[in-house]
Chain A
Amino acid sequence: MADSQDEKVVNILKEKFEDQVLLVEQLYDFLTVTLKKDRIIEIIEHLYENPETKYQFLTTLFAVHYPHTDESRRTITGQASDIVVSNEGPAGFIAIVYQLHNMVSNHRVRLKIYLPEENPQVPTLTNVFAAANWMERETYDFYGVTFDGHPNLKRILNVEDMIIFPMRKEYPLEDQTREDKQDEMFGR
């Protein structure tokens, strides 16, 4: 992945959305841009249409839950943690990750936004990418993120009458009554 490509994308983003870019970082081989949540769809549309970038392929879209604890806060990699907290407030977050791909120049970029844990809302991407339809439904199904303007926002993999959003961290998987897996027994 050429560094000049990375720079070009960052420059184009900063040129038009200077106030929206919170952090630019290189996570392993991937350019990752953390953005404010307000104009995300506009930014993706710009990257889609701008002849310089033309990110016209949505590789994947999904969510990550960072509950309101110091430990999970540290998981937000790099310097992102402080920046996100100072911008979005101190509560827990749900991050939405968009991975875009320009197939002509074979360059990828990852965009991240952080939504509040309570009642997360973001506009839908289905008007740009048809593929976002089920990806957003899946994200709603597992994290309860509401995508405004989505044509058919209902559960996709879980049963309709489920009342929780199971991928959130407050629903632990392992049986909590188990005593053989206590942390102190493993030096954790």
Chain B
Amino acid sequence: MADTTTDIDKVQPEEKQYSYLNLGPTHPATHGIFQNVLKMDGEIIVEATPTIGYIHRAFEKLSERRPYNQITPITDRLNYCSAPINNIGWHMTVEKLLKTEIPKRVQYMRIIIMELARITDHVVCNAVIGVDTGALTGFVYMFQQRELVYEIYEEICGARLTTNIGRIGGFERDFSQKAWDKIDKFLVEFPKVLKEFENLLKRNRIFMDRTIGCGGINAERALNYSFTGPNLRAAGVDYDVRVAKPYSSYEEFDFNIPVGINGDVYDRFMVRQEEMWQSLGIIRQALDKLAKLPSGPFHAEVPEFYLPPKEEVYNNMEALIYQFKIVMGETDVPKGEVYHCVEGGNGELGFYLISDGGRTPFRLHYRRPCFIFYQAYSEIIKGSMLSDAILTMSSMNVIAGELDA
């Protein structure tokens, strides 16, 4: 048999020539501002050195000078694909500090909004996995559905992407009939498109070959890296904050937590896909529960944080005082230290709030799931192809806003 070893195989490893590739910071395939300096052996990644912080906006420092109401818009800009979850998570943190009782109706309304946000988050991630594997069609159809959710947000709070939805204690106004209609319309139209999208990719040979076994991480490493959310569940750990530490009455709902086996791109895709179906189920259950409740309350009794109706401001002394205190941001809160976490689009989104009894937090720490799991990225892509690295990043759903705070 002929000797097939070539010159390149005889080269000693230390003499080997590596090339360096600068991936990012602004590269369309990274879907955000990430820089990775890749040490490449041909098309194989030998080492990756990530640099982050390109859109660092000092959220934790800003939070120390802002009244509680004015922190909500900051939380929008963490994971901007599912801003309402961040907003409501922050409101619930303050409510926990204040020990406020939230009416059941508000809790169910919040669950509807949070699950819609989870769907949009997963829509973006899964559609983009499609794009990165070469299937642009699904992306366009899915984004059309995301638009429907944004129209629901618009109907409720007026904004679309950075929503600033709700207030401490509940919602700024009751959902209009149009908003309810749009939610119903979404619940009818979205499952059809989701099913079609799933059929397009789930058993697609090209997609499966491309994603199975790509960018995998096992459960042990994932836990050691403090993964949470769909990325951890894809590795086979059934940890979900909605079940482990229910908030906003999630314990009353019936839903499944999908888990994967290999923690690779395909499993992450499938976990997110199933979570969207589960979210739809949760929204339907919440609507049923709401139908049994008398309509009316859409916020808790926290006048210190909740702007009074305008007509009362002109005629009622107390309402006028509260109006001024809220607008000027001069509401004091009790002293305390509280941690609250919600299941965000990417995992456990935690707010650690220390209040010294003043108008602003003494310290507010955001536990940002992206920041924590992105550090595993260089380990995951080591030894894989460049194109797999792109796919791994989009399947982990790293959001620059949440990463850099």
Interface of A toward B, CB cutoff 8 Å: 27-28, 30, 32, 56-60, 62, 64-65, 71-72, 74-75, 77, 97, 99, 103, 106, 110, 129-131, 133-135, 138, 142, 156-159, 166-167, 172-174, 186, 188
Contacts and interface: CB of A to CB of B under 8 A. Distances in A.
Nearest to A60: B367
Contact of A135 (B53, B221, B237, B372): B372
Interface in B348-367: 348, 350, 352, 354, 356, 358-359, 362-363, 365, 367
Nearest to B239: A103
B58 A59 contact: no
Contacts of A60: 350, 352, 365, 367, 372
A62 B224 contact: no
CB-CB nearest 8 A-B residue pairs: A131-B226, A157-B53, A75-B356, A157-B56, A60-B367, A173-B65, A134-B375, A62-B365
A166 B64 CA distance: 12
Contacts of B339: 28, 30, 99, 110
Contact of A131 (B97, B224, B365): B224
B310 interface: no
A157 to B, nearest CB: 4
B335 A59 contact: no
A156 B225 CA distance: 17
Q: On chain B, which size bracket covers the interface? A: 35 or more
23 contacts: A27-B338, A28-B339, A30-B338, A56-B223, A59-B348, A62-B365, A64-B354, A64-B365, A72-B356, A74-B356, A75-B356, A75-B362, A77-B336, A77-B337, A97-B352, A106-B245, A129-B226, A130-B225, A131-B224, A158-B53, A167-B60, A174-B65, A186-B328
B62 interface: yes
Contacts of B328: 186
B135 interface: no
Contacts of B405: 157
A107 to B, nearest CB: 10
B376 A130 contact: yes
B156 to A, nearest CB: 30
A32 B339 CA distance: 11
Contact of B221 (A62, A130, A172): A130
Given A30-B339, A157-B52, A186-B330, A133 B375 contact: yes
B96 interface: yes
B277 interface: no
Which of B221, B226, B375 has the most chain A CB within a 10 Å cutoff?
Answer: B226
A134 B363 contact: no
B244 interface: yes
Contacts of B372: 60, 131, 134-135
Contacts of B354: 64, 75, 77
B335 A77 contact: yes
Nearest to A159: B53
B121 interface: no
Contacts of B190: none
B62 A173 contact: yes
B371 interface: yes
A74 B358 CA distance: 12
Contact of A57 (B61, B226, B359): B226
A159 B52 CA distance: 10
Contacts of A135: 372
Interface in B194-212: none
A86 to B, nearest CB: 21
A148 B225 CA distance: 20
B337 A103 contact: no
A33 to B, nearest CB: 13
A82 B1 CA distance: 82
B115 interface: no
Contacts of B371: 134, 138
Contacts of B61: 166-167, 173
B275 interface: no
Given A59-B367, A129-B226, A157-B53, A75 B62 contact: no
Nearest to B245: A106
A137 to B, nearest CB: 9
Contacts of B56: 157-158
B226 A59 contact: yes
B404 interface: yes
Contacts of A138: 371
